[in-house]
Amino acid sequence: MAEEFNTESMLDMFLYESGQLLEKLEGIILEKQDADCFDDSDINEIFRVMHTIKGSSGVLMYENITKVTHKLEDVFYYLRESHPDDVPHMELVEKVLAVSDFVTGELDKLKNGDTPDGDEHQLVQDLDEFLGRLKGEIKKQGIQMPQANKHEEPKQFYITPVAGDDSHFYRISIHYRSDTQMSNIRAYSATYALKEVAEDLLYTPDDILSNEASGDVILAEGFHMLLQTKSSKEEVIALIDSSEAEEINFDELTKGEYGKALAEFGREDAITIDLGEEQKPEEKDKKKDKPQPGDYVVKTKEAGKGKTLAKNQPKQQSIISVNVEKMDALMDLIGELVIAEAVVLQNPDLKVPGLELSNFQKASGQLSKITTELQEVIMSMRMMPLTNVFQKMKRIVFDVSRKLDKDIELEVIGENTEVDKNIIEHITDPLMHLVRNSVDHGIEENAEDRTTLGKPAKGKITLEAKNEGGKVYISVKDDGKGLNKEKLYQKAMDKGLIDNKLISEFTDKEIFRFITLPGFSTKEEVTEYSGRGVGMDVVVKNIQSIGGRLDIESVEFEGSEMTLIIPLTLAIINGIVVQVGNSPFVIETASIKEFVRVGEDSLIHEPSGEEYIVLRGECYPFIRLNERYDLADSISNVEEGIVVVLEHEGSQVCVLIDKLLQEQEIVVKPIPPYVKKVKGLSGCTQLGDGSIALILDIAGLLIQDGERR
Amino acid sequence: MAEEVKNEEMEELLEEEDSQKGKFMTFQTGKEFFGISISYVNEIIAMQPIAAIPEVDDYIKGLINLRGKIIPVIDVRVRFKMEPSEYTDRTCIIVIDVNSTMIGLIVEKIAEVDTIADDSIVPPPSLGRKEHEHNKYVYGLARTGDAVKLLLDPEKLIRQDEIEAVMEDIRKED
């Protein structure tokens, strides 16, 4: 049974591979959604994906997955063999996506450690019916029906390896007890176990996995295998699972006998081969690779087949998947290395006057070069293209636009833009929201509304990513109705979300930003996709949590553009280290507007204790970090300290610090969750000497400041 | 093959657990000796410079950098509502790992690793003062030699409700 060959790693492998295959599948489908039909290579590809998933889910005995994929495989087998003309393409696309969703759902259950118990019957029925209709149409047109897909398990043909001198030959026959369940699967597990040691393996019945009836044949006639191996008899016997087996016959053969036995087995195969070649032209190449005339043609390693095919795809880079934790550990270590390097190179022992250090300098220069390079490499390893995220968006546009009956085309630009893996995880949901909003709210309900405005009837959404100046810009742009400022203003007023001010007192951007206020939803009715009023504020919050922001542009009747501006990487920021009292703090360089020294006279004291600073006629709130955080031994006279003007999303605040220490690239680390979250601090970092500095979070400072007032 | 390896690993793990059973890291704070099951203890390090964090409870002394890992440290004395003592050469930080949360405990003096049999552990006497501060973290008393050691429950020590509060925050943010 499946459990016997280390299911855990097989399961991992299965989940990983199937996940990859499904992604690929969705990619193909969505690319061709607007085409009239799939071309041959697509059909082959989808067929192969289904086939592989079916095979491996069969081995792991996830029956519902096997059944569903098998059905879809049937459909594509039919398409591939008979090239019917009138395929309802849209319906086919939907069917494939339905299957892909089903399997994805089941895989998710598996990932969570649940049993995949989704009900496949409806889906299988639908597919059956669909296939029936396809075939029906063909019949009507009088085209010859191709043979039904009886050999669902496409075979892979290998030439018998030349036997070495130390090879042994065995004929193994297993007779299972008559009440054995799923004897075909048991037989398969036996072949699977033997494959490890087999130089060559042939068995009959040969369609054990794909043909459930083969189980009966095995029960009646036994399961026969021919094995060529270097292993001894004992080793082979140990590999075969003998539970449920009534009798195992084990004959050692000579090379000559083996050849004869092969011929008996192989005769049948010789026929299948011809069939096979006609049916599966893509496997011809494989066969040609090993032309050894005269040898018997035998098939082995069925389970490995899907893998080989998938990995032989052209243009695929050779990639290994690594656990993210290991990557993070490596990253940490390299951070440590950099710090250790600083400790060595700036060691006070070197400062002894009169030391001859020229060789040391040379060596240390080399060391620094390597560590810098190492840092760059690890950073680049964490970078991933946005392709997958964008693919999900394609799917969303496809689904939602069809549900809402809107005709929308999606243009994707710059999907190869690379960003840090952490960021990808954080932007997927917000981006999904924006895309949904564009489809749902952005694009007009009726095509007439568009044509009267002189726009093409088909709505257009552009998803664009670009990398500029250390930031990534991801924008979702639609050519829909755009935002109506009066409406937004009215709505925000009605809901009491804004202060009582005239509309003219707000800038356009400020008005657009109303939609990001919690509890604001312009759509009168709540739809399935958006309009619950919890969307945009969550989007903004998520984006802010990774140090990004949302920019909204809109022209009424022409469309809107929502741009996410996010840092390229979360892990390393450019910061300025400052000191307050005895504690070092880090401020992100990008949020610093200026450093000033001010006199006591530019301070305004409010009776409530609040302070403001007047700089060039502008009045800014003033925070004394030492008082805010109760830091001892710090400068409290403004004239002695330094005032830093910080900016975040258009609002400014002045902060008093003692002195500036240095500017450096810092590795951001989270404050351990055990310590409750302190407002105004976003994380911590290690400085060159190994000590810890806290990172100021400007947004948090501003919020806290607002709350106090 | 893979399974064999796994089994070996399991056995090793079990053995390790076995050898740790009944062993306690004991330390002295004030006049009392405390013990903490050695299975929680990751390592013991010398006192290090601590980066203070503003706006937290007074017993959380701040953060230390343990080979690139940032971990919070708490002062056991302050946690037990005792007068804080001066940190000396003998002051140590015991790094413990409780449910994957790493925390450093500042203790005055490390004593030794003691083997304490299960049957020599008695529950702390209750005088009807259930809210008594110590009893929250002390789950048993053990007599070894002539000293009585108070055995600490680290999970209570780092206070479950605090962890829960943090978890809730995290959940809310999600």
Tokens 């001198």, residue?
Answer: A165
* A465-494 pLDDT per residue, tens: 988 766 788 999 988 888 888 888 888 888
CB contacts of A579 in chain B (<8 Å) are none
| Residues B54, A629: C-beta atoms closer than 8 Å | yes
Report helix, strand or coil for A193.
Answer: helix
- Cα–Cα distance between A400 and B29 in angstroms, integer? 65
A5 inside 8 A of chain B by CB? no
Q: Would you say the C-alpha torsion B150, B154, B156, B157 has a positive or negative sign?
A: positive
| Residue-wise burial string across A375-412, b where 16 or more C-beta atoms lie within 10 A, e elsewhere | beebbeebebebeebbbbbbbbbbbbbeeeebebebeb
Q: Is A650 left (phi over 0), alpha (psi -120 to 50) or beta?
A: left
Is B52 within 8 Å of chain A by CB?
A: yes
Say how many C-beta atoms besides its own lie within 10 A of residue B101's C-beta.
17
> Which pLDDT tens digit goes with each residue over B45-83?
888 888 888 888 888 888 998 877 888 998 888 877 778
Report the candidate in B37, B20, B154 with the shortest Cα–Cα distance to residue B100.
B154
pLDDT at A482: 84
Query: What is the rounded radius of gyration, in angstroms, for the C-alpha atoms of chain A?
Result: 34
**Is B158 an 8 Å CB contact of chain A?**
yes
Decide which of A151 and A476 is more confident. A476
Query: Nearest CA to B152 among B131, B127, B133?
Result: B133
pLDDT score, position A705: 66
What does the pLDDT average to over A648-664?
84
pLDDT tier at A306, thresholds 50, 70, 90 = very low
pLDDT at B94: 92
Q: Which is more confidently placed, A340 or A185?
A: A340
- Distances from the Cα of A181 to the Cα of A120, A186, A216, A237, A244, angstroms: 22, 9, 10, 22, 9
Residue A689 touches chain B, beta carbons under 8 Å: no
Q: Report the alpha-carbon distance of residue A343 to residue B147 in Å, rounded.
A: 44
The answer to which of A98-102, A459-463, A538-542, A615-619 has the lowest mean pLDDT is: A538-542
Nearest Cα residue to A575 out of A589, A596, A555: A589
The alpha helices in A211-323, defined as continuous H runs, are 214-221, 233-239, 255-279, 284-289, 302-311
Residue A297 has a pLDDT of 40
CATH code of the domain occupying A2-140: 1.20.120.160
A384 touches chain B (CB under 8 A): no
**Start-end ranges of CATH 3.30.565.10 in chain A?**
384-567
The reply to whether B89 touches chain A by the CB within 8 Å rule is: no
CA distance A586 to A694: 6
Residue A512 identity: F
Spatial distance between the Cα atoms of A162 and A178, rounded to a whole number of angstroms = 37
Instruction: Provide the pLDDT for residue A578.
Output: 92
Query: Which three-class secondary structure state does DSSP give residue A142?
Result: coil
Residue B64 touches chain A, beta carbons under 8 Å: yes
Q: What is the ipTM of this complex?
A: 0.71
- Residue A287's pLDDT is 41
The verdict on domain A324-382 having CATH code 1.10.287.560 is yes
| Alpha carbons A530 and A397: distance in angstroms, whole number | 13
**Domain A572-708 falls in which CATH fold?**
OB fold (Dihydrolipoamide Acetyltransferase, E2P) (2.40.50)
A119 by DSSP, 3-state: which?
coil
Superfamily of domain B22-173: CheA-289, Domain 4 (2.40.50.180)
Q: How far is CA A653 from CA A149, A580, A708, in A?
A: 72, 17, 14
**What confidence tens digit (pLDDT) does each residue in A86-101 have?**
777 778 888 888 888 8
At residue A293, the pLDDT reads 44
Cβ contacts of A378 within 8 Å, gap of 6 or more: A327, A330, A331, A334
Q: Which of A228-242, A244-258, A347-361, A529-543 has the lowest mean pLDDT?
A: A529-543
pLDDT, position A210: 62
Burial class of residue A697 (count of CB atoms within 10 Å of its CB; 0-12, 13-18, 19+)? buried
Across the interface, of A630, A686, A693, the residue whose CB is closest to B54 is A630
Residues paired with A248 in a beta bridge: A174
Q: Residue A527 has which token pair? A: 């739809």
Round to whole Å and give the CA distance between A41 and A53: 18
Residue A42 has pLDDT above 90, yes or no: no
Rounded CA Rg of chain B: 18
CATH architecture, range A158-311: 2-Layer Sandwich (3.30)
How confident is the model at residue A329, as a pLDDT? 84
CB of B103 within 8 Å of a chain A CB? The answer is: yes
pLDDT tens-digit series, residues B114-150: 888 877 888 777 665 555 544 467 788 888 777 788 8
Contacts of A209 (CB under 8 A, 6+ apart): A55, A58, A59, A153, A184, A185, A188, A302
Q: Which of A511-515, A620-624, A673-677, B139-143 is least confident? A: A673-677
The SS3 call for residue A102 is: helix
**Predicted pLDDT at A707:** 60
pLDDT above 50 for A312: no
Using alpha carbons, select from B55, B61, B60 the residue that is nearest to residue A631. B55
* Tokens standing for residue A389: 């995220």
- Cβ burial of A559 (10 Å; 0-12, 13-18, 19+) is buried
SS3 for A568? coil
Give the side-chain half-sphere CA count within 13 A for A424: 18
Contact call for B54 and A9, based on CB within 8 A: no
Tokens representing A455 are 């726009």
A674 vs B49, B52, B103: nearest CB: B103
Length of chain A: 709
Mean per-residue pLDDT for A156-166? Answer: 50
In this prediction, what percent of chain A has a pLDDT beyond 90? Answer: 3
B74 to chain A: closest CA residue: A675
Q: What pLDDT was estimated at residue A87?
A: 74
Share of chain A above pLDDT 70, in %: 76
The DSSP output letter for A205 is S
Predicted confidence at residue A380, as pLDDT, reads: 78
Provide long-range contacts, Cβ within 8 A and 24+ apart, for B81-87: B81/B133, B82/B29, B82/B30, B85/B30, B87/B47
Q: How far apart are CA A198 and CA A300, in angstroms?
A: 9
Three-class HEC string of A519-556 = CCCCCCCCCCCCCCCCHHHHHHHHHHHCCCEEEEEEEC
Residue among B54, B68, B166 minimizing CB distance to A673: B166
Identify the closest residue of chain A to B60 by CA–CA distance: A675
Would an 8 Å CB–CB cutoff place B56 in contact with chain A? Answer: yes
Contact A675 B68 (CB under 8 A): no
Lookup: tokens for A359: 């060789």
Residues of chain B with Cβ-Cβ distance to A631 below 8 Å are 54
Distance from CA of A332 to the nearest CA of B (A): 6
Q: Check residue A152 and give its pLDDT.
A: 41
Which chain B residues touch A695 with a CB distance below 8 Å?
none
The CA distance from A144 to A433, in Å, is 49
Is pLDDT of B113 > 90? no
Architecture of the domain whose range is A384-567: 2-Layer Sandwich (3.30)
Q: Domain ranges in chain B?
A: 22-173
Kindly report, as residue ranges, where domains of CATH 3.30.70.1110 are found in chain A: 158-311
Which tokens hold the place of B139?
A: 């789950």
Assign A1 a pLDDT band (cuts: 50, 70, 90): very low
Kindly determine whether residue B169 and residue A676, on different chains, have CB atoms separated by under 8 Å.
yes
Task: Tell me how far apart the alpha carbons of residues A9 and A420 are, in angstroms, rounded to a whole number.
Answer: 28
